[in-house]
């Protein structure tokens, strides 16, 4: 039988945001600690309606094996957190339901990239012993459309190609469905009180005299908690700024769009070599698990003056969260004065312009599938999300990866752009340990490691 709060609407831990990050922490606290009461507040009518939704991201488990912008040290970290996602899904028999196995590869095109792939393979093969080098003859069998320039598959592309990849690993997850599974298992895990409230748009968080926190929604509902964690995408920094935290940060919302083919073009994930000057994801092609028989290409990268994609409003929230001043101007100037970045930003803007966007985008996508034509693709309307890229005003540069604000008083604000979904259980583990120490909880770390790590 579920417990009830000692005090009405009061909880040990309250989590703002029901995406993959919020539900991962909700699950871990319920499953592996003796916390007595948990509350999850979700702004919309269901979990994961924004960036964790299956149509809003690349559906990829970012292990670090084919992500060519990851250093070896970063790959060691992402490998551990990515395996947590896999282990959770296997623990609850979610393979071939929300988690799938495809082949995947990082493809080098041209002499320079081929040499890069070969060197990278030698550097990473000990960390990822399942990786293989695939030459053009092997690729003719695995992914023929990346080899041939014609539909009849008689003409091999002129430039050399080489890939590092695997066909033995889980590669793909519907992170929206995983959010639902995490919440479900949290509520079934123990007799901990695990409340989830929808249509609960948090407007304000206030620290009270007794060191607890009062959380107020736009409907006037109030909750109190001993510890509050905000996993609300770009709105995490928005709420932090309201409380006076994170003023050295601004938020640059980057929207990623996709293009979809009418038919089957790729058997697995094909990622390109990343240009290290560009802070955003390289183009890749994937079989889309929510659009059966179709291949998705993307993402594009477009700065949007709003914090949520395909939702009304949040324009004013953007301007407040950007935290605009001369330091933000300098960060933008430093980015734009680099020719590669400037051209990339302009080109990605054109990818969103009707009539010319398909023709321009297909020129980039042809690096993966040389025979691809304008008639083969359509703009994937409704696909793609917004990633909260953080601008560090103290260092005067764009921060890559996740950012977290922890004042040490029972508050945490998390901003998790890619690979935030892959890192959800690892990030939750970090926050769980902070909460356990702060509240004096018991934590079954042995069981946690047995369940979620290798």
- What percent of the chain has pLDDT above 90? 81
Rounded Cα–Cα distance for residues 376 and 210 (Å):
62
Based on the domain organization, do 39 and 112 belong to the same domain? Answer: no
Q: Which of 40-44, 62-66, 342-346 has the lowest mean pLDDT?
A: 342-346
Q: Mean pLDDT in the chain?
A: 94
Based on the domain organization, do 145 and 76 belong to the same domain? Answer: no
At 266 the pLDDT is 96
pLDDT band, very low/low/confident/very high, at 400 (cuts 50, 70, 90): confident
Which CATH number belongs to the domain containing residue 441 in this structure?
A: 3.50.50.60
Rounded Cα–Cα distance for residues 150 and 19 (Å):
42
Based on the domain organization, do 148 and 82 belong to the same domain? Answer: no
Based on the domain organization, do 289 and 382 belong to the same domain? Answer: yes
In this predicted structure, the answer to whether residue 1 has a pLDDT above a threshold of 50 is no
5 located within any domain: no
Q: Which of 3-7, 121-125, 164-168, 302-306 has the lowest mean pLDDT?
A: 3-7
At 193 the pLDDT is 96
Instruction: State the pTM of this model.
Output: 0.95
List the domain range (segments joined by +) for residue 152: 104-166
Q: Which single residue is written with the structure tokens 């959800």?
A: 424
Based on the domain organization, do 108 and 86 belong to the same domain? Answer: no
Interval 240-252 mean pLDDT: 95
State how many domains the chain has: 2
- Sequential DSSP letters for 30-71: HHHB--SEEEEE-SSSSS--STTSTTSS--B---SSS-TT--
User: pLDDT tens, 273-328?
Assistant: 988 777 677 899 999 999 888 999 999 988 889 999 999 889 999 999 999 999 99
Q: Is the distance from CB of 13 to CB of 435 less than 8 angstroms?
A: yes
Based on the domain organization, do 365 and 319 belong to the same domain? Answer: yes
At 3 the pLDDT is 54
pLDDT band, very low/low/confident/very high, at 404 (cuts 50, 70, 90): very high
User: pLDDT tens, 427-453?
Assistant: 999 999 999 999 999 999 999 999 999
User: pLDDT tens, 105-119?
Assistant: 999 999 999 999 999
Interval 13-39 mean pLDDT: 97
């Amino acid at each position: 039988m579920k417990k009830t709060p000692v005090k009405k609407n009061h909880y040990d831990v309250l989590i703002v945001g029901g995406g993959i990050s919020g539900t991962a922490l909700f699950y871990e606290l319920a499953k592996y600690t003796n916390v007595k009461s948990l509350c999850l507040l979700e702004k919309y009518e269901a979990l994961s309606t924004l960036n964790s939704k299956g149509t809003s991201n690349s559906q990829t488990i970012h292990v670090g094996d084919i992500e060519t912008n990851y250093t070896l040290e970063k790959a060691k970290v992402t490998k551990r957190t990515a395996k947590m996602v896999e282990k959770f899904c296997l623990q609850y028999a979610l393979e071939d339901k929300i988690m799938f196995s495809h082949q995947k590869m990082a493809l080098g095109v041209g002499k320079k990239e081929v040499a890069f792939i070969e060197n990278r393979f030698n550097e990473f093969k000990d960390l990822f012993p399942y990786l293989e080098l695939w030459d053009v003859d092997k690729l003719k069998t695995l992914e023929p459309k990346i080899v041939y320039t014609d539909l009849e598959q008689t003409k091999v592309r002129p430039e050399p190609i080489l890939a590092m990849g695997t066909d033995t690993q889980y590669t793909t997850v519907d992170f929206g469905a995983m959010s639902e599974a995490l919440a479900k298992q949290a509520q079934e895990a123990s007799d901990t009180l695990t409340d989830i409230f929808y249509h609960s748009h948090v407007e304000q968080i206030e620290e009270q005299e007794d060191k607890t926190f009062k959380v107020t929604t736009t409907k006037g509902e109030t909750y109190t908690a001993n510890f509050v964690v905000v996993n609300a995408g770009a709105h995490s920094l928005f709420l932090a700024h309201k409380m006076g935290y994170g003023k050295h940060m601004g938020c640059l919302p980057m929207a990623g769009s996709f293009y979809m083919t009418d038919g089957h073009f790729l058997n697995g994930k094909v990622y390109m070599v990343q240009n290290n000057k560009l802070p955003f994801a390289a183009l890749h092609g994937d079989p889309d698990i929510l659009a059966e028989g179709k291949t998705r290409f993307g993402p594009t990268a477009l700065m949007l003056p709003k914090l949520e994609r395909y939702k009304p409003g949040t324009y004013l929230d953007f301007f407040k969260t950007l935290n605009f001043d001369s330091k933000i101007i300098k960060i933008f100037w430093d980015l734009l004065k680099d020719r590669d970045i400037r051209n990339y930003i302009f080109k990605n803007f054109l990818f969103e312009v009707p009539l010319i966007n398909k023709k321009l985008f297909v020129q980039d996508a042809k690096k993966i599938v040389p025979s691809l034509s304008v008639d083969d693709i359509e703009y994937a309307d409704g696909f793609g999300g917004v990633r909260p890229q953080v601008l560090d005003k103290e260092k005067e540069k764009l921060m890559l990866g996740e950012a977290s604000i922890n004042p040490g008083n029972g508050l945490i604000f998390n901003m998790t752009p890619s690979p935030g979904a892959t890192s959800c259980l690892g990030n939750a583990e970090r926050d769980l340990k902070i909460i356990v120490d702060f509240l004096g909880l018991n934590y079954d770390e042995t069981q946690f490691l047995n369940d979620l790590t290798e």
